[in-house]
Structure 1
């Protein structure tokens, strides 16, 4: 299974927003700069995350993005579904019914066994992504960080964070 680059960018952006102090915002441009990615491409995914209620945006020249709910309540599955959509990765087109000598209707009464196996794998994949939260990932990074990762992020946030104009 191949997920688009937007999933990685979205997960990192959400993780960074989750680490902001209360009332802090980061612009799409700042998030893109920190991760070295295209601002316009990242913006598309930030909008999807906002529509899904994972992050919130404040419009205007001094606006930006912030986390919309607790990092403990945001799973990797939430982010994948926001960016990639809810459709399963494998979509059976029933090609077994095609070909030069098609079988009569009714020959294939059970669901395709290939489709059934792929959907079982999809459920397992989604179940595992649903178990991993942004908060859990942050704790894992913190446990393995010698301080340099945190220092890099804090220095960047100090330069680029904007205050929110809204009460949360």
Structure 2
């Protein structure tokens, strides 16, 4: 399975927005600059997060995006589904019904074992992502990110937000 790079960009953007002081917001241009990614593409990811209720958007000179919920109420599952959409990753084309031995639909009362296994695995995958909150990621980062980078991020946020 391959997720779009938008998932990574969205997740990192959410962790950055979690660090904002109360009442402040960051626009797509600021976030794109910070992560060195294309602004137009990142803006689409931020819009998807906003549509999913993960972010709120404000307009105007000091506008931008903020988290819409507390960090312990946003999971990686929420972010993946906002960016990739709610459909399943595996799309069964029922090729077993094709070709010279294919039979009418009535001969296949349930989905094939391959599709069932793929869908079951996807449910486990999404359930695991549902256990990982932004709060957990931020707590881990506090121990994994060097003090120098943490200070640099704070300085950058003071200027940008």
**TM-score by structure 2 length?**
0.96
Q: Partner of 1:165 in structure 2?
A: none
* RMSD, matched Cα: 1.1
Q: Which has the higher contact order (CA 8 A, sep 6+)?
A: 1
Q: Partner of 2:147 in structure 1?
A: 147
Over residues 51-73 of structure 1, what are the superposed CA-to-partner deviations in whole Å (9 max), with x where a residue is unaligned? 11111111123311111110000
Q: Partner of 2:32 in structure 1?
A: 32
The secondary structure found in structure 1 opposite 2:57 is strand
How many residues matched?
A: 161
The secondary structure found in structure 1 opposite 2:130 is helix
* Runs of 5+ unmatched residues, structure 2: none
Residues 34/108 of structure 1: CA separation in 2 closer, same or farther (3 Å cut)? same
Looking at structure 2, the residues matched to 145 and 108 of structure 1 have their Cα atoms a distance apart, in angstroms, of: 53
Looking at structure 1, the residues matched to 104 and 56 of structure 2 have their Cα atoms a distance apart, in angstroms, of: 53
**TM-score by structure 1 length?**
0.92
Looking at structure 1, the residues matched to 101 and 2 of structure 2 have their Cα atoms a distance apart, in angstroms, of: 34
* Runs of 5+ unmatched residues, structure 1: 162-168
The secondary structure found in structure 2 opposite 1:131 is coil
1:114-133 equivalences under 5 Å are 114-133=114-133
Tell whether the 8 Å contact from 2:29 to 2:39 is kept in structure 1 after alignment.
Answer: yes
Tell whether the 8 Å contact from 2:25 to 2:62 is kept in structure 1 after alignment.
Answer: no
Structure 1 segments of 4+ aligned residues over 4 angstroms from their partners: none
Over residues 88-114 of structure 1, what are the superposed CA-to-partner deviations in whole Å (9 max), with x where a residue is unaligned? 100111111011232244322232100
The secondary structure found in structure 2 opposite 1:24 is coil
Q: Partner of 2:107 in structure 1?
A: 107
Over residues 8-33 of structure 1, what are the superposed CA-to-partner deviations in whole Å (9 max), with x where a residue is unaligned? 00000001001111111111100000
Q: Partner of 1:74 in structure 2?
A: 74
